[in-house]
Amino acid sequence: MGRFGDYQNEIYIAGLHGHQPRLPIRFEEMQAKAHAVLPASLVSYVAGGCGNERTQDANVAAFDGWGLVPRMFVGATERDLSIDLFGLKFPTPIFMSPIGVIGLCAQDGHGDLATARAASQTGVPMVASTLTVDPLEDVAKALDPTPGFFQLYTPTDRELAESLVHRAEAAGFKAIVVTLDTWLTGWRPRDLSTASFPQLRGLCLANYFSDPRFRAQLARPPEQDLQAATMQWARVFGNPLTWDDLPWLRSLTRLPLLIKGICHPDDARRAIDGGVDGIYCSNHGGRQANGGLAALDMLPGIVAAAGKVPVLFDSGVRTGTDVIKALAMGAAAVGIGRPYAYGLAVGGVAGIVHVLRCLLAEADLYMAVDGYPRIAELRPDMLRRVAR
Ligand code: FNR
């Protein structure tokens, strides 16, 4: 992708030839377009959150509470946005957060593959959800050559969990991300109002339906009895893990193990003592609990507790400047969620690539203008609270 900020030159030069951007630049416009093309049940599933959605609004608003102090006479003509994570080098500091049902957001119903292709084209890694339309092996193939991570919703059946992790390893995923905050679903009024929950309709369950352990427990295969298979999925889906389960989780893989949903420094410390390789600070985009605390406000405490262990972050990132602020607070990598789902809905693979390029261009130009050529120079003391 060259220098990320150059995306604006491409756009302006195309304008000289009479071409306006086909895809929206601003998140709000992309969201509005996506809402116009997606079926109503998917709009409520993707856009909706828990309760009256104060947490998801707070996630976004929290970024407005911080500003980066501009530095001059730096001449930041070259910016380095690359990061090292678990021994891998990534060209950018962002990744695509796991989104179950992303499969359904694509016009052709194969959004997991589209996301993987966008990762392949951009070098921005995808964290593939457990809940996909296409099996994880197919997603892994489409990711190549960009490394990807596999996100695990830990089932109550330990053998099924082991099978999923071993399949992810065999498929070439480079880390396992265990999501802790979704062993049951939070109270989501938008979905409740339409009585719609895609998985209960047998959708996005390919990883289960293709799993030998899962299939062995069915009287008839999912192709013959979708309802029974779906009910079996509902029985095994959510495991209310406790600290006693951590040694077992750790034993599942030699790949880097990350835990997602961490918001308290004590939880971060204890998990690191238990052998995890990365902490993923997130409140699931406000979809799970409506406690009102923005994930960004939790990030500095988690970074301090984690020490040298990398902290990944998501929840509320909408712009390139948001990415930079999270990095300045100490995030090792920043997750993009709903923005790429909307890009996919509107423009397929090209739509995701466009969203990622816009975020990266804005981040890159922000670093250029404000005089921060390297991520290491984005430190917490360069951020100031914004008085309201
Ligand atoms: C999610 N998220 C999520 N997380 C996860 O670990 N596994 C999953 O399958 C899903 N599925 C999912 C579906 C949808 C529609 C959304 C919007 C989100 C949470 C996701 O990884 C991330 O934490 C949030 O998207 C971050 O919030 P924002 O920035 O998208 O608001």
Q: Please give the positions annotated as active site.
A: 284
Percent of the chain clearing pLDDT 70 (strictly above): 99
Distance 51 CA to ligand 1 centre (A): 16
pLDDT at 102: 98
Mean pLDDT of 324-332: 98
Taking the C-alpha atoms of residue 46 and residue 191, their distance in angstroms, rounded to an integer, is 10
> Does pLDDT of 315 surpass 70?
yes
pLDDT at 387: 83
Model confidence at 212, pLDDT cuts 50, 70, 90, reads very high
CATH H superfamily, domain 26-385: Aldolase class I (3.20.20.70)
Q: For the chain, what are the domain ranges?
A: 26-385
Distance 39 CA to ligand 1 centre (A): 19
pTM: 0.98
pLDDT at 319: 98
Mean pLDDT of 38-61: 97
Q: Is the CB of 150 under 6 A from ligand 1?
A: no
> Does pLDDT of 388 surpass 80?
no
Residue 128, CA atoms < 13 Å, CB-side half-sphere? 42
64-78 confidence digits (pLDDT tens): 999 999 999 999 999
Q: Which residues of 40-59 are buried (b: 16+ CB within 10 A; e: fewer)?
A: ebbbbbbbbbbbebbbbebb
22-44 confidence digits (pLDDT tens): 999 999 999 999 999 999 999 99
> Does pLDDT of 94 surpass 70?
yes
pLDDT at 4: 98
Mean pLDDT of 158-176: 98
pLDDT at 30: 98
- Probe target for ligand 1 pocket from 284, 314, 318, with the most ligand atoms within 8 Å of CB: 284
Model confidence at 1, pLDDT cuts 50, 70, 90, reads low
Model confidence at 160, pLDDT cuts 50, 70, 90, reads very high
263-298 confidence digits (pLDDT tens): 999 999 999 999 999 999 999 999 999 989 999 999
